C-alpha cells in the first residue's frame, strides 16, 4: 500500500518516517526508479517482530521503499498482523485464516480472463486483496470491520496502458449522494464516474469477482463493505 498506509511490500514491516535521498546510481533497477528516489526520497524498512521475514538481515535490512500498489502476500500478512495487534490481542486462529485467504487470493493473479470481467487477468491492488480478505474473515466468523481503517479506497476499473490493460487504482474522492457518500474516481471522473453509491457499487463488484475466483463460491452477503 501507499501513502498513509505504506509498508514494506515484502515483509509488512513499517517504514521509517524520515526519507533517504540516494544518488541516481544507488537505488532501483531502472533509471526512472533511481531518479524518482533521488528527487522525492524513499524510506528504510524498520525491523518488526510481526514482519514476515525468515532472515531479516539478508532479506530486508537496508531496503528502501515507499510501499507499492501491489505487495507480496507475505507483506500483506505482516501488515495484517501488525494492525490487528493494534485493536485486539493475538489470535493464532485468525492469523492462520488470514494467511490461507491471502494465499488463495494472490494465487488467482494474472490467471487469464474468465469471461466475466476485465479484472481477471490483472494483478490485484492491495486495496482489493484487503477488502476480499476482510469479507472472507467475516464470513468465517471473525470480526474484520477494523480493516477498513487501514487502506485507501481506490478505483476498481481498468484502463488501456501502453501495451496492455492495467489497473486504474486511482484514489477515490467522496461527495454527498442520494443515500450518503458516493465514491468517485479521482483520475477519470468522467469515464469511470461514481464507483460506489446510488445503490450500485463497482467496488463491491470487483471484490465479489475476486472472492468468487479465489474461494470458488459467491459472496452473497457483504459483511464489511
Q: How confident is the model over 130-151, as pLDDT tens digits?
A: 999 999 999 999 999 999 999 9
Rounded to whole angstroms, how far apart are CA atoms 70 and 83? Answer: 18
Phi, psi for residue 156 in degrees, rounded to 5: -85, -5
Distances (CA, A) of 193 to 31, 107, 153, 189: 35, 30, 14, 4
pLDDT at residue 36 tops 90: no
**pLDDT for residue 35 is more than 80:** no
> Does the predicted TM-score (pTM) go above 0.85?
yes
Q: Which residue has the cell 496492455?
A: 164
Residue 43 has pLDDT above 90, yes or no: yes
Q: Give the other-Cβ count within 10 Å of 23's Cβ.
A: 9
Gap between the Cα atoms of 205 and 40, Å rounded = 35
Distance CA 186, CA 168 (A): 10
| For residue 193, pLDDT beyond 60 | yes
Torsion of CA 125, 156, 153, 212, to 10 degrees: -70
Instruction: Tell me if 120 sits within 8 A of 210, measured CB to CB.
Output: no
Give the list of residues 6+ apart from residue 143 with CB closer than 8 angstroms, or none: 88
CA distance 117 to 85: 36
Band of residue 111 on the pLDDT scale cut at 50, 70, 90: low
In the predicted structure, residue 31 carries a pLDDT above the cut 60: no
Amino acid at each position: 500500500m501507499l501513502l498513509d498506509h505504506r509498508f514494506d511490500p515484502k515483509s509488512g514491516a513499517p517504514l521509517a518516517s524520515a526519507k533517504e535521498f540516494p544518488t541516481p546510481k544507488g537505488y532501483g533497477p531502472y533509471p526512472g526508479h533511481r531518479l524518482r528516489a533521488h528527487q522525492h526520497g524513499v524510506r528504510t524498512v524498520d525491523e518488526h517482530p510481526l514482519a514476515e521475514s525468515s532472515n531479516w538481515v539478508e532479506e530486508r535490512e537496508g531496503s528502501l521503499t515507499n510501499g507499492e500498489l501491489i505487495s507480496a502476500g507475505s507483506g500483506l500478512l505482516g501488515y495484517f498482523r501488525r494492525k490487528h495487534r493494534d485493536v485486539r490481542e493475538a489470535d493464532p486462529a485468525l492469523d492462520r485464516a488470514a494467511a490461507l485467504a491471502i494465499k488463495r487470493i494472490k494465487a488467482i493473479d494474472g490467471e487469464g480472463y474468465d469471461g466475466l470481467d476485465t479484472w481477471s487477468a490483472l494483478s490485484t491492488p492491495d486495496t482489493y486483496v484487503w477488502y476480499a480478505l476482510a469479507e472472507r474473515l467475516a464470513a468465517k466468523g471473525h470480526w474484520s470491520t477494523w480493516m477498513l481503517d487501514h487502506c485507501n479506497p481506490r478505483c476498481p476499473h481498468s484502463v488501456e496502458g501502453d501495451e496492455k490493460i492495467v489497473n486504474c487504482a486511482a484514489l477515490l474522492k467522496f461527495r454527498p449522494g442520494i443515500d450518503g457518500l458516493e465514491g468517485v474516481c479521482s483520475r477519470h471522473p468522467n469515464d469511470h464516474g461514481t464507483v460506489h453509491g446510488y445503490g450500485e457499487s463497482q467496488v463491491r463488484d470487483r471484490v465479489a469477482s475476486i472472492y468468487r475466483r479465489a474461494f470458488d463460491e459467491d459472496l452473497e452477503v457483504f459483511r464489511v463493505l
